[in-house]
């Protein structure tokens, strides 16, 4: 039976963090390892230009992001992994799709509203049309599935609308991509108030040492009921439990902290120490592989180049069809 194709991207806007890992990367690895899916994964450097960025470090950041994805388990024998700008057809298709996407539709995107807040008219047009480039990323490969966190669902709905419009005007061309939403839809930041986000400074990076993670975890906000050690709490009202423990700790540890929290049998620090230990079990080997791969950048570059070559061939076939259907060639 033919494998199902998924496409997903990640922005090199900062160090990849555990929100990216639990919400996206970990699922990508599971999907490709399941043998049911074929995966195309992309470090979307053109997307990273939609917010202020340093041109001196963008390329390096893209390579670091790709290295981290490899450290998490994406590899040449399992999936394609490339950097968006290596495949120029992405921006070409984005232009075509821009011409059939409405200003009203893009104005309703909550991510645009959040990122352009208080900026008046000083907002890059690229930020406004970001969802169209995202649609092009997916459609270029005619991917049927897109594993995403909750924050990207609205963009994917727009991509589906773009597909319906394109297909009805120019003839059946693209499938409507379906979201694959995992359990960790929205990992909150250490502040417990906003989504963990590279640009918010509320992250735990995948490459961070256990010491550095502990410095962030120890003061992290827990259930407000636990003002004193003797106050019982409710784990489901605690960000540390709901955003991190739940995903990193085994069932017996979760049962232990649930009971200990509700009865004030354990304090928040003890609970966090157990979490830190479980996080290290999962993140330690990733960090180690990341450091090893950084010593061999040629391995990463060879994988990226080989994938990009294959992706250019697929992308060119799609653009050949698109150019002919829209009437330019």
Residues near ligand AQP (CB under 6 A) are 9-11, 13, 19-20, 23-24, 148-149, 151-152, 184, 186-187, 195-199
- Which among 142, 155, 280, 306 has a CA at the least distance from the CA of 217? 280
Known active-site residue 3: no
Identity of the residue, 206 or 322, whose beta carbon is nearer to ligand AQP in the bound complex: 206
CA–CA separation, 11 vs 49, rounded Å?
A: 9
List the catalytic residue out of 4, 78, 142, 195: 195
Contact (CB, 8 A) for 233 and 225: yes
User: Residue 187 CA to chain centroid, in angstroms?
Assistant: 11
User: Measured from the CB of residue 140, what is the shortest distance to ligand AQP in angstroms?
Assistant: 17
Identity of the residue, 51 or 254, whose beta carbon is nearer to ligand AQP in the bound complex: 51
Q: What is the number of the residue whose Cβ is closest to ligand AQP?
A: 23
Identity of the residue, 148 or 315, whose beta carbon is nearer to ligand AQP in the bound complex: 148
User: Measured from the CB of residue 324, what is the shortest distance to ligand AQP in angstroms?
Assistant: 32
User: Measured from the CB of residue 148, what is the shortest distance to ligand AQP in angstroms?
Assistant: 4
Q: What is the DSSP letter of 35?
A: S
Identity of the residue, 187 or 238, whose beta carbon is nearer to ligand AQP in the bound complex: 187
Known active-site residue 325: no
Q: Which residues pair with 9 in a beta bridge?
A: 42
Known active-site residue 281: no
User: Measured from the CB of residue 186, what is the shortest distance to ligand AQP in angstroms?
Assistant: 5
Reading the block at residue 315, the tokens are: 């992308």
List the catalytic residue out of 78, 115, 216, 299: 115
Tell me whether residue 169 is exposed, middle or buried, using C-beta atoms within 10 angstroms of its C-beta: 0 to 12, 13 to 18, 19 or more.
exposed
Three-class DSSP category at 140: coil
User: Measured from the CB of residue 162, what is the shortest distance to ligand AQP in angstroms?
Assistant: 19
Beta-strand relationship, 80-83 and 145-148: unpaired
CA–CA separation, 42 vs 171, rounded Å?
A: 28
Identity of the residue, 21 or 166, whose beta carbon is nearer to ligand AQP in the bound complex: 21
Residues with catalytic function: 115, 195, 198
């Amino acid at each position: 039976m033919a494998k199902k194709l998924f496409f997903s991207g990640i922005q090199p806007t900062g160090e990849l963090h555990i929100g990216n890992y639990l919400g996206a990367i970990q699922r990508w690895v599971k999907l490709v390892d399941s043998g049911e899916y074929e995966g195309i994964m992309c470090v979307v450097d053109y997307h990273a230009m939609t917010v202020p960025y340093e041109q001196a470090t963008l390329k390096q950041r893209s390579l670091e992001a790709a290295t981290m994805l490899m450290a998490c388990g994406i590899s040449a024998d399992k999936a394609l992994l490339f950097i968006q700008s290596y495949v120029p057809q992405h921006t070409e298709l984005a232009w075509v799709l821009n011409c059939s996407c409405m200003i009203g539709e893009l104005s309703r995107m909550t991510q645009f509203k959040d990122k352009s807040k208080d900026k008046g008219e000083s907002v890059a047009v690229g930020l406004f049309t970001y969802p169209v480039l995202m649609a092009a990323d997916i459609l270029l490969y005619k991917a049927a599935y897109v594993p995403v966190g909750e924050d990207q669902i609205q963009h994917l709905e727009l991509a589906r609308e773009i597909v319906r419009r394109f297909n009805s005007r120019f003839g059946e061309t693209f499938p409507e991509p379906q979201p694959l939403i995992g359990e960790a839809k929205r990992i909150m930041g250490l502040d417990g108030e906003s989504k963990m986000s590279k640009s918010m400074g509320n992250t735990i990076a995948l490459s961070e040492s256990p010491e550095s993670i502990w410095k962030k975890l120890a003061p992290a906000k827990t259930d407000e009921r636990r003002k004193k050690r003797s106050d019982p709490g409710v784990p489901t009202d605690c960000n540390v439990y709901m955003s991190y423990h739940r995903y990193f700790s085994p069932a017996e540890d979760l049962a232990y902290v649930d009971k200990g929290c509700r009865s004030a049998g354990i304090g928040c620090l003890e609970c966090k120490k157990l979490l830190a230990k479980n996080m290290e079990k999962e993140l330690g080997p990733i960090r180690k592989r990341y450091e090893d791969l950084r010593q061999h950048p040629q391995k990463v570059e060879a994988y990226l180049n080989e994938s990009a070559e294959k992706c250019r061939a697929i992308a060119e076939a799609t653009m050949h069809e698109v150019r002919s259907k829209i009437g330019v060639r």
